């Protein structure tokens, strides 16, 4: 039986030239010279950037509007984009929330694990964080107030401990007030964008100590940024979330 190229020799004229060109191209491709893949549009879902629940300048002068714009619109958006790109090539991850993804890193396909840990963690951490900031109450209330007093003695003592934890983070990371699996409060730090959820802990309050969170306004003075953070906690929201979870 004639192969395709031999068959083409039996054809004449322009038709055979065209067909031969086509035959050679398909041979080249089968030899590994792959044509450039079509440029795929970046996936826009399933995850999306939640809007800030207040104006960009709402936390002035403690957190400046320019930092809020960059932090939310650029940094958080990048985590969302990279997470979407990671799950796009792993259809088995479809339908999971970001909290589910970062809570169970060990069950993820190995090829997706680092991207989900970093970008999923970044999306989960920042989505958690924005609503805990704002102007809402000067101190914790209700169950959270009781739990903080029981664990740390007083609100100032708690703030000192969370400040020390935030200052202890080497490089980029977060300091957290979490509810441990046994229900008690604890302070912990996580490196990079690791989520407390990966440790089985529920975040109650957190502080982002990546330089992108403060460098424009505070430069190297992380401690001043941490002091400012305590001026912009929406304690009403944080206390409400804590009380709600207490019932679950
Ligand atoms: Mn950040």
Residue-level pLDDT, tens digit, the chain, 248 residues: 444 444 444 444 444 444 434 443 444 444 445 555 566 678 888 999 999 999 999 999 999 999 999 999 999 999 999 999 999 999 999 899 999 999 999 999 999 999 999 999 999 999 999 999 998 888 999 999 999 999 999 999 999 999 999 999 999 999 999 999 888 999 999 999 999 999 999 999 999 999 999 999 999 999 999 999 999 999 999 999 999 875 54
Distance separating alpha carbons of residues 12 and 10, to the nearest angstrom: 7
Whether a cis peptide bond, with omega within 30° of 0, leads into 61 is yes
User: How many angstroms does the Cα of residue 75 sit away from the middle of ligand 1?
Assistant: 7
User: How many angstroms does the Cα of residue 137 sit away from the middle of ligand 1?
Assistant: 24
User: How many angstroms does the Cα of residue 139 sit away from the middle of ligand 1?
Assistant: 24
CATH 3.55.40.20 spans which residues of the chain? 142-247
CATH 1.10.287.990 spans which residues of the chain? 65-132
Strand partners, 176: 188, 206
User: How many angstroms does the Cα of residue 202 sit away from the middle of ligand 1?
Assistant: 18
- The DSSP code for 74 is I
User: How many angstroms does the Cα of residue 104 sit away from the middle of ligand 1?
Assistant: 22
Beta-carbon contacts of 48 under 8 Å, excluding residues fewer than 6 positions away, are 80
Distance separating alpha carbons of residues 53 and 85, to the nearest angstrom: 26
Q: What is the pLDDT of residue 13?
A: 42
User: How many angstroms does the Cα of residue 57 sit away from the middle of ligand 1?
Assistant: 17
User: How many angstroms does the Cα of residue 73 sit away from the middle of ligand 1?
Assistant: 11
Is the pTM higher than 0.85? The answer reads no
Place of tokens 């936390």: 59
User: How many angstroms does the Cα of residue 125 sit away from the middle of ligand 1?
Assistant: 8
Q: What is the pLDDT of residue 42?
A: 80
Nearest Cα to Cα of residue 162 among 59, 238, 84, 58: 238
User: How many angstroms does the Cα of residue 173 sit away from the middle of ligand 1?
Assistant: 9
User: How many angstroms does the Cα of residue 90 sit away from the middle of ligand 1?
Assistant: 26
Q: What is the pLDDT of residue 135?
A: 85
User: How many angstroms does the Cα of residue 214 sit away from the middle of ligand 1?
Assistant: 9
User: How many angstroms does the Cα of residue 172 sit away from the middle of ligand 1?
Assistant: 9
Q: What is the pLDDT of residue 181?
A: 83
User: How many angstroms does the Cα of residue 228 sit away from the middle of ligand 1?
Assistant: 16
CATH number of 142-247: 3.55.40.20
Topology given in CATH for the domain delimited by 65-132: Helix Hairpins (1.10.287)
User: How many angstroms does the Cα of residue 71 sit away from the middle of ligand 1?
Assistant: 6
Q: What is the pLDDT of residue 40?
A: 66
Q: What is the pLDDT of residue 39?
A: 66
User: How many angstroms does the Cα of residue 176 sit away from the middle of ligand 1?
Assistant: 14
Report the helix count and the strand count for the chain, using DSSP H and E. 12, 3
Q: What is the pLDDT of residue 29?
A: 43
């Amino acid at each position: 039986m004639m192969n395709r190229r031999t068959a083409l020799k039996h054809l004449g004229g322009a038709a055979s030239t065209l067909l031969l060109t086509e035959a050679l191209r398909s041979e080249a491709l089968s030899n590994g010279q792959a044509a450039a893949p079509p440029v795929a549009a970046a996936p826009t879902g399933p995850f999306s950037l939640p809007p800030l629940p207040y104006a960009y300048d709402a936390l002035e002068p403690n957190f400046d509007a320019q930092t809020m714009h960059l932090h939310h619109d650029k940094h958080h958006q990048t985590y969302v984009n990279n997470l979407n790109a990671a799950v796009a090539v792993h259809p088995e991850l479809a339908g999971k929330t970001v909290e589910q993804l970062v809570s169970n890193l060990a069950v993820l396909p190995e090829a997706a694990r680092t991207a989900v840990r970093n970008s999923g963690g970044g999306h989960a951490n920042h989505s958690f964080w924005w609503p805990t900031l704002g102007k809402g109450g000067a101190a914790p209330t209700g169950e959270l107030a009781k739990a903080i007093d029981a664990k740390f003695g007083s609100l100032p003592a708690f703030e000192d401990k969370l400040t020390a934890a935030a200052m202890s983070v080497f490089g980029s990371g977060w300091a957290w007030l979490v509810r441990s699996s046994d229900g008690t409060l604890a302070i912990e730090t996580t490196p990079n964008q690791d989520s407390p959820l990966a440790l089985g802990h529920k975040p109650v309050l957190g502080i982002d100590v990546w330089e992108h969170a403060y460098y424009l306004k505070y430069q190297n003075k992380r401690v001043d940024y941490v002091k400012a953070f305590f001026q912009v906690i929406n304690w009403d929201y944080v206390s409400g979330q804590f009380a709600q979870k207490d019932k679950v």
